[in-house]
Structure 1
Amino acid sequence: MFLRVTSEDAHGDGKGGEARRGGGRTRLIRAAGALVACGLVLAMAGAGWAYWHLNQNIKSVDIDGALGSDRPARAVTTPAPSASASASPLPSGALNLLVLGSDSRSGRANAALGGGDSSGARSDTAMVVHVDAGRAGATVVSIPRDTLVTRPSCPLPSGGTTAVAYSSMFNSAYSVGGPACAVKTVESMTGIRMDHYLEIDFSGFAKLVDTLGGITVTTDQDIDDDKSHLHLRAGTHRLDGEQALALARTRHGIGDGSDLGRIGLQQKVVKALLEQIASSKLLTDPTALYRVADAITGSLTTDTGLDSLPELVRFAQSLQGLTSQNMKTVMMPVVPAASDHDRVVAKEPAASTLWESLR
C-alpha cells in the first residue's frame, strides 16, 4: 500500500495534516457504521435462523384430513375483544385438546429413558384438557391407559382402515393407528370433538424439565420403584428431567401397582411444570426463552392447526390467563373389568355424566 504525500504536506503548513485527520474521522465513522450494519445483519440472520429452526422442529399430523367429517361437532369459539382495531383478536372460546405422552422407544434418548428398545409405541399418558370459555380455567381428565374400550374403525397412516375392536385396551389405539386413531377413540368414548392434538415423547419431556431448571413436586408417600429407578421419601423434592419423567411413569412403587396409582402423580407433574414455566423470567431472558422454545417445539407432535411457530405462539397467548390454581384435575371414573381384574372399564353413569358436563 502506498501513501501519496503532496508538496504542501511536506512543507508542513498544517493543511494536509488537518485534511488527513478529517479523512481519518470520516473513515472511522464509516467503519463504525459498517460494523453496526454487519451486527444488525448478523442479528437479523440469527433471528431468522432461530425462527426457521424452531418452526422446522414441529412435527404434525393431519387429524382433520384423516378423520373427515364423521366426528362430533366443533365447539363455537368467539374472539376476545381487542384493544387495537387492527390487531387480530385472540380466540377465547371453549377448547378441547387431547394431550398424549408417548412411550415410543424410537431414538437413542427415548430408548434409554424408556428402559430399552421396544417395538411400536403406545399412549403412556392420556389427558383430555377442556379449557373453559374465556380460557382462564380448565379441567384435565386423565384416561387410564388400561381402560377397556370399543376401539372404532380407524384410518391407517399407510392406507386402509382397521376393524372395530371390542374390549381393547385404550392405549392400543395409538399403537395400531397413531394419533388419528387415538383421537377418534377418545371422541367415540366422550362425544366431544378434540379441537387440537398435542403429543410429547420421553426425551422431549425430560429435556424441557431440565431446560427449565427442574420442577418442584411434593409427594404424599415414599416411592420405591426399581423399574423406574425412582426412590423418593415423602415430602417436597426438586426433580430434574429424568426424575420428573420417572415420577410421571412410576406405578410399581405406589398403590396397588396399577395404572390408576400413577395418574395422581402425573397430574402433580403437569401442574408443577406449568408453575415452573409461569415463574421463569423467560420474557426478560431471550437466551433462556430460546432454549425453552427449542425444547418444546423439538419434542412436540401436533395437529396441523398448531404446526407452525406463529400458530403455537398465538395459542399460548390465548392461554396466558390460565394458571395451575385454576386447573381442576380428575380421573375418568372406572371400575375393575369383570373379564380381567387387571383392567378397568368406564364406571357408569358417572363417566357419561363427566363427559356431558364438559360438552
Structure 2
Amino acid sequence: MTSSNSSNSLSSTFYLTGIPGYEEFHHWISVPFCLLYCVGIMGNCTILHIVRTDPRLHQPMYYFLAMLSLTDMGMSMPTMISLFRVLWSISREIQFDVCVIQMFLIHTFSFTESSVLLAMALDRYVAICHPLRYATILTPRLIVKIGTAALLRSAFPVIPLLVRLTYFPFCRSHILSHSYCLHQDIIRLACADISFNIIYGLVFITVLWGMDSLGIFVSYVFILHSVLRIASREGRLKALNTCTSHICAVLILYIPMIGLSIVHRFAKQSSPLIHIFMAHIYLLIPPVLNPIIYSVKTKQIRQGILHLIHSYQINSICMETL
C-alpha cells in the first residue's frame, strides 16, 4: 500500500451504531449502561483507595487485586464517550485515528486482565503451596516486574495489527456495527487482503489466552494437590475459599471474551443484537462484578469498605456540628 492510502485511512470518518431498530429508545437504554459504568468505576476506585490507604492490605494478593481494578477500568472507560455520544444522539461519527486508539486500549487492557489473572493464580499457588516463603518470593519489586511484563506482553502484539490497519483503504460502508471500535468489526470494511490480520489475530489470541489459561489451570492443579493433603476439612475449605473470588473473576472475563470471539468469527449471520449484546457484556460485566465479588468474599476488603463508610459518617457528623 502507498503512504497516501495510510493518510486517507487515518483521516477517514466512521459511523457507530447504537441498538439497531431501537433508536427511539436509545435515551432509555443509556440509563442501565450509565448505572453499570458508574457502579464499575465506583467499585474499582473503592478497591484502589482501600488497598492504598490500609497498611494491612499492603500484601501481594491485594497489589494484584489493585492491578485487576486498574485493568477493569482501562478496559471499559475508552468506550464510555463514544457509547453515550451514540445513545444520547450527540454524534455517531468517530475519526479513524481515534478509533485506532480506542481499539488499542480495549484490546491491550483485555489481554492485560488475562495476564493479571494468571499472576493472581500464581499468587494463590505460592500462598497455599509455599506459605512460609510467600513474602520472600512475591516481593514488591517482583510484583512491579510482573505488572509491567503483563502490560507490555499485551500491548506490543496489538501494535502490528493496528499499524497494518492504517494502510488499508476503506472503500465500502463506513458503518460499524457497535457503539465503539473493535478490530474484528472494522477489519470487515477494508478493501484489501486482510489475511494477515485474521491469521495473526487468531494466532495471537490463541497463544496468549492459551498460555494464560494453561498457567491458571496448572496452578490450580498444584493448589488442589496441596489442599487435599491438609488433614482437617475446615483447613481445606479455608484454603479453597481464598481462591473462590479469583475463580469467579476468571470465569467472568473468559466466558464473555470467548463468546464474543466465537460470535465474530463463526456466527456472522446471526442477529446484530447478539453481536452488540456480547460486545457490551464483554466490557461491562468484569468491571462491575469483580469489585462486588471481592468485597463479598474477601474479609479484609469488606472490613476496609465498612471502615471507609464509618469514617465518612464520622466526618459528616463533625461537619454538621461545626
TM-score range, shorter chain: under 0.3
Normalising by structure 1, report the TM-score: 0.21
Q: Which has the higher strand share?
A: 1
Bigger Cα Rg: 1
* TM-score, length basis structure 2: 0.23
- Higher relative CO (CA 8 A, sep ≥ 6), structure 1 or 2? 2
